[in-house]
Structure 1
Amino acid sequence: MKKAILGLSALCLVAFTSCKEDATQKINSENVAAAAERDATAGDFPTINFDETEHDFGTIANGTPVQTVFKYTNSGNAPLVVSNIKSTCGCTVPSDWSRDPLAPGESAEFTVKFDGKGTNQVSKTITLTTNTEKGAETVKIKAFVEKDPNAPVSKAGSAAIKQVR
């Protein structure tokens, strides 16, 4: 049994060492150089910096549409791509952003429109899908929405029951 294991081990050793000579001859130096360059820049991600990450519209009347512009800069070492921008609901609409790569040091912007509906303090998050290390970046808008003075007033807990005859 020991002789069989020893013989099998020797056979495997010969098989593995004989393959090394053939494998080294098949390596393409151009591929090695391209892989080294790719590995050297693998950690270079774009970095996005916003002029402001939260915009406060202050106090607005219910139903008053407002908008703001978020400006950002690529402060990383690789081109920045913003592939999508979405909000938490349909009352907040991001628009006007470029899907083209943004070179390091360049700036861009996008617009966020808020329909002004809601009551009291309202906060919305806008998410950017990017090629940064995190993969997604967020900005926020907020506003204090006043009640509509023309809206009908309803008392909580009062209900009328009609009798049917």
Structure 2
Amino acid sequence: MKKVAMLLIAVVLMTGCKQTSKNQASDMGNQAVDPAQQTSISFTEDHHDFGKVTDGEIVSYSYKFKNTGDKPLIISDVHASCGCTTPNWARDPIAPGQEGEIDVKFNSEGRVGMQEKLITVTANTNPVQTELHLFGEVVAK
């Protein structure tokens, strides 16, 4: 009975976390970027499968990208679909032709089962937002 109650609580919490993030992402996606300042971004990989990890492990991955446009790339925001996933990126503009990375950490504690986390990158690009995906399976200890 305890397991069923815990599972129900986990589902409710994950659903609430995901819905808030979707609303924030759609609000940010409506922002216009001055066409004179637009550039383009190209990720080496936008999906990463971390495989199987044990509950409680922290998974780290770096999404590598390149500014493929002719204006400085300014990443104004990077956010994840859940608080268990934390992105980190350089706030400085990336010059045309230069490369950078977005480091992501996923805390698997209490998240047993298949996982897919969405990381939304907002920048002076067209489209304004780019989605990155991190997925895999968390197995019980």
TM-score (norm 1): 0.61
Q: How many residues align?
A: 107
Unaligned 5+ segments in structure 2 are: 1-34
**Conserved in 1, the CA contact under 8 Å of 2:112 and 2:140?**
yes
Is it true that 1:106 corresponds to 2:98 in the alignment? yes
Q: Deviations over 1:36-55 (max 9, x none)?
A: xxxxxx46731111111011
Once the two structures are superposed, residues 41-78 of structure 1 have per-residue CA deviations (whole angstroms, 9 ceiling, x without a partner) of x4673111111101111001111111111111001122
Runs of 4+ in 1 over 2 A off after TM superposition: 42-45
1:75-114 residue CA offsets vs partner (Å, 9 max, x unmatched): 112211001111011100001x122221111001121000
- What is the TM-score with the length of structure 2 in the denominator? 0.70
Aligned residue number for residue 119 of structure 2? 126
| Amino acid of the structure 1 residue aligned with 2:60 | Q
Q: What letter corresponds to residue 81 of structure 2 in structure 1?
A: T
| 5+ residue gaps, structure 1 | 1-41, 149-165
CA RMSD across the alignment: 1.7
Percent same amino acid at aligned positions? 36
Q: What's the counterpart of residue 85 of structure 1?
A: 78
Structure with larger Rg: 1
In the alignment, the residues of structure 2 paired with residue 52 and residue 133 of structure 1 have an alpha-carbon distance, to the nearest angstrom, of: 18
Q: Is the strand fraction higher in 1 or 2?
A: 2
Please give the residue correspondences for 1:2-151 in structure 2 after superposition, counting only pairs within 5 Å.
42=35, 45-95=38-88, 97-117=89-109, 118-148=111-141
Amino acid across the alignment from 2:39: P
